[in-house]
């Protein structure tokens, strides 16, 4: 596969239909790719079967079509990529940076040094399992690890992984590979050069950068968009009951998403077709115009 100068992707989890929050990510990643003459691929993150909602993948594909965002290449599915994830895990194990962990959620919550609800694993099992304990998950050792990115919108973001994230899971207690590992393996396999997604994933990005480093993979460029929040400061999501995108009338949400990204279409385009709006947005795209904040409440 010849490597284009820009290959981006949108990677929704099929836990439900797309909503306004996911439209921001889809649109931001699409416009950034197309404004640079790049490719925009679609990956369905269906790694976690219990979280996959029946019909969601189909609904996502239909919504992207209705909103005029055509993807390049074949749709990628994480559920088909188990062998690649297993190979990456083996490579990490050979480096000696992965260890089995017997701790339950409750034990971690009780001994954690992090915020309530976002516990930081204190490294209990690093030196081996306590007698009689059974390995559950596999974790990666983050001792002394500092990571950082120069985000195209958010600027420099750095983290001491050991203190601020803790040794994170690469294979879960139920045997599933962790999203962090899967995302890194897939982005590298597809030759993704640019990742544009919500700023709620910044913490994940820093973990992923460490995995890239350990696996000898090249680091893509990153752009973390503001996340759409409601008046209570909660991220728009299925959990906060964000309504699914209207597939029959895409223009209103598309215009609202462009406004959110501070690219309001000119008056002459009010009432224009989806394709005309998108063509204008590709022409007008400028990262410097996007608010460089991590979250933002849409103006209605």
Stretch of 8-16, 96-104, 167-175, 253-261 lying at the interface with ligand GLU (CB under 6 A): 8-16
**At what angle are helices 82-94 and 202-215 packed, to 10 degrees?**
70
Stretch of 10-18, 123-131, 138-146, 223-231 lying at the interface with ligand GLU (CB under 6 A): 10-18
Residues 250, 17: Cα–Cα separation, whole Å: 14
196-205 burial, b at 16+ Cβ within 10 Å, e below that, comes to bbbbbbbbbb
How many angstroms from the chain centroid is the CA of residue 204? Answer: 8
Q: How far is the CB of 1 from ligand GLU (least distance, A)?
A: 20
DSSP strands (E only) in 141-212: 146-151, 155-160, 169-171, 194-198
Q: Is 11 in the site for ligand GLU (CB under 6 A)?
A: yes
Strand partners, 101: 137
The correct pick among 6, 7, 30, 45 for binding ligand GLU (CB under 6 A) is: 45
Give the interface size with ligand GLU as a residue count (CB under 6 A): 7
The correct pick among 7, 13, 18, 209 for binding ligand GLU (CB under 6 A) is: 13
Q: How far is the CB of 284 from ligand GLU (least distance, A)?
A: 24
Cα 199 to Cα 151, 206, 229, 230, 292: the distances in Å are 10, 12, 12, 15, 10
Q: Is 212 in the site for ligand GLU (CB under 6 A)?
A: no
Q: Is 245 in the site for ligand GLU (CB under 6 A)?
A: no
Nearer to ligand GLU, 8 or 265 (CB): 8
Q: Is 12 in the site for ligand GLU (CB under 6 A)?
A: yes
Question: Do 35 and 164 form a contact (C-beta atoms < 8 A)?
Answer: no
Strand partners, 96: none
DSSP class of residue 114 equals S
Q: How far is the CB of 107 from ligand GLU (least distance, A)?
A: 27
Nearer to ligand GLU, 129 or 215 (CB): 215
Nearest to 31 by CA among 271, 257, 294, 192: 257
Q: Is 194 in the site for ligand GLU (CB under 6 A)?
A: no
Q: Is 178 in the site for ligand GLU (CB under 6 A)?
A: no
Site residues for ligand GLU per CB under 6 A: 11-13, 45, 183, 197, 201
């Amino acid at each position: 596969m010849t490597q284009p100068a820009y290959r981006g992707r949108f990677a929704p989890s099929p836990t439900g239909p797309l909503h306004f929050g996911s439209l921001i990510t889809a649109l931001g990643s699409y416009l950034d790719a197309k404004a640079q003459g790049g490719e925009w691929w679609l990956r369905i993150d269906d790694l976690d079967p219990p979280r996959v909602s029946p019909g969601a993948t189909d609904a996502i594909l239909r919504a992207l079509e209705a909103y005029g965002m055509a993807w390049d290449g074949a749709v990628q599915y994480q559920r088909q990529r188990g062998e690649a994830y297993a190979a990456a895990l083996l490579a990490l194990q050979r480096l000696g940076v992965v260890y089995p962990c017997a701790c339950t959620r409750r034990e971690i919550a009780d001994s954690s040094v992090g915020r309530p609800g976002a516990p930081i694993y204190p490294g209990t099992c690093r030196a081996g399992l306590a007698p009689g304990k059974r390995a559950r998950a596999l974790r990666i050792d983050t001792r002394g690890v500092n990571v950082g990115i120069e985000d195209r919108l958010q600027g420099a973001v750095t983290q001491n992984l050991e203190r601020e994230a803790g040794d994170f899971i690469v294979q879960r207690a139920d045997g599933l590979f962790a999203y962090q590992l899967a995302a890194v393996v897939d982005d590298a396999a597809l030759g993704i050069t640019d990742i544009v997604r919500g700023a709620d994933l910044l913490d994940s990005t820093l973990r992923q950068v460490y995995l890239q480093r350990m696996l000898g993979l090249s680091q893509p460029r990153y752009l973390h968009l503001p996340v759409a929040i409601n008046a209570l400061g909660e991220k728009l999501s299925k959990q906060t009951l964000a309504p699914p995108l209207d597939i029959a009338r895409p223009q209103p949400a598309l215009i609202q998403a462009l406004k959110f990204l501070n690219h309001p279409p000119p008056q002459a385009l009010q009432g224009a077709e989806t394709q005309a709006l998108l063509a204008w947005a590709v022409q007008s795209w400028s990262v410097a115009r996007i608010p460089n904040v991590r979250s933002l409440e849409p103006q209605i």
